[in-house]
Chain A
Amino acid sequence: GESVGLHLPTLSVQEGDNSIINCAYSNSASDYFIWYKQESGKGPQFIIDIRSNMDKRQGQRVTVLLNKTVKHLSLQIAATQPGDSAVYFCAEALSGYSTLTFGKGTMLLVSP
Chain B
Amino acid sequence: ETGVTQSPTHLIKTRGQQVTLRCSSQSGHNTVSWYQQALGQGPQFIFQYYREEENGRGNFPPRFSGLQFPNYSSELNVNALELDDSALYLCASSWGTANEKLFFGSGTQLSVL
Task: Enumerate chain A interface residues (CB-CB to B < 8 A).
Answer: 3, 5-8, 32, 34, 36, 41-46, 49, 89, 91, 93, 95-105
Contact = CB atoms under 8 A, between A and B. Distances in A.
Main secondary structure of the interface of B (DSSP, over half): loop
Contact of A98 (B90, B99, B107): B99
Interface of B: 2, 4, 31, 33, 38-45, 48, 56, 58, 90, 92, 94, 96-107
A65 B20 CA distance: 40
Contacts of A96: 98, 100
A99 B48 contact: yes
Contacts, number: 74
A46 B4 CA distance: 13
21 contacts: A5-B40, A7-B40, A42-B107, A43-B104, A44-B90, A44-B104, A46-B102, A46-B103, A49-B101, A93-B100, A95-B100, A97-B56, A97-B98, A98-B33, A98-B99, A98-B100, A100-B102, A102-B42, A104-B41, A105-B41, A105-B42
Contacts of B45: 99-101
Nearest to A94: B100
A103 B92 CA distance: 17
B104 A45 contact: yes
A34 B58 CA distance: 19
Nearest to B91: A43
Given A43-B90, A98-B31, A98-B94, A5 B41 contact: yes
Nearest to A42: B106
